[in-house]
Amino acid sequence: MDKIEKQPLLGLSLEELQDVAYRGKMPRFVGKQLAEWIYSKGAVSFAEMNNISKKNQQWLSDNYVIGREDPVKAAKSTDGTVKYLFPVGDGRTVESVYIPDRDRATLCVSSQSGCKMNCYFCATGKMGFRKSLTAAQILNQILSIPPKGAPGAAQMQPLTNIVFMGMGEPLDNFSEVRRVIRVLTEPWGLAWSPKRITVSTVGKLPELKDLLDKTQVHVAISVHTADTRQRESMMPAQKAFPISAVMKLLSAYDFSHQRRLSLEYIMWRGVNDDIAHADMLIKLIGNIDCRVNLIRFHRVPDVDLTPASEERMLMFRNYLNSKGITATIRASRGEDIAAACGMLATKC
């Protein structure tokens, strides 16, 4: 007889945890205790939950798992960036990247194993799509960094920010990503400000509208070129979700206060690094309040693109700034361990 897989409690809301307690004939306040142990205290076993009776601990253990699992491998960059490999069932793995930076520590999390978007320049896209992650599998990445007891873990700074910029298209798995955002931001969860969270997307509609309407997290749009034909040749999602339609949707929202909109723009030599492309980008942006992140291209096997020169990137940035658009060149982190933008392919 096949073994029945137990449901993880990680990823469940307070209301759902209260329902779990009710099913176990426990007072509903045990649901709140479970939320506190799982999210605030980071419990990895029911035995740790010393304000829940042994009998109830046993019932929970018989019927559920918490859903925590340590990374199986890690690689550390010379710049301090650490890439972790997490199992996600079915023999699949995903990568998460820990990026320390002075008083901040950002975790780049994955929402899928592989990706359906198949962007020409992205190593994850070259993998093809394998599976969408559950909220438990996404949250496990966040709660397991830094790994308890791992060498150097005590010296690692606690996470201050989360970016959904790892493997996969977050809005192609929006129901689970939305669950994770709720756990991160609700008082019964981690009680983070939504301003500590950024979701990156190619602009998948209508999920983008749902993200904008139902959360207050920052949004990053993968533009990379404002030339629509060029974008379609490199990003198949352009056919279904034209960047003009994405920007039209974004224009209806206010990004002039605390919520931030970023446009991601990888720069390739002789492809999108000239003034003509800068002008197309300026026209695309129009009056939308945003910032442009210029990103160095990190070479990917079997992709015949080369990084734009430093001089071109500086010229492009300065030109956008001169036209009233805030543009910055993103610092490249973790390239020596294949952890930089576009390089994640479960080869930790």
Which of 108, 122, 290, 341 is the catalytic position?
A: 341
CA distance 200 to 262: 9
* Annotation says 15 is catalytic: no
* Annotation says 122 is catalytic: no
Cα separations (Å) of 6 from 43, 133, 275?
Answer: 17, 16, 56
CA distance 20 to 56: 11
**Residue that is written with structure tokens 């991601």 in the block:** 264
**Residue that is written with structure tokens 């500590």 in the block:** 196
- Tell me how many degrees the CA angle 52-54-55 measures, rounded to the nearest 5: 100
What's 3's DSSP letter? P
Extract the tokens encoding 304: 């015949």
Residue 320: name the closest of 252, 270, 267, 271 by CA.
267
Instruction: Judge whether 292 and 327 are in contact, CB under 8 Å.
Output: yes
Extract the tokens encoding 168: 């996969």
Q: What is the DSSP string of 247-305?
A: HHHHTTS--SSSS-EEEEEEEBTTTS-SHHHHHHHHHHHTT---EEEEEE----TT---
Classified as helix, coil or strand, 222 is: strand
CA distance 45 to 89: 19
Extract the tokens encoding 190: 């981690």
Instruction: Judge whether 214 and 256 are in contact, CB under 8 Å.
Output: no
Which of 69, 95, 207, 264 is the catalytic position?
A: 95
Extract the tokens encoding 300: 């990917």
Point out which residues pair with 87 in neighbouring strands. Answer: 93
Q: Tell me the catalytic residues.
A: 95, 341
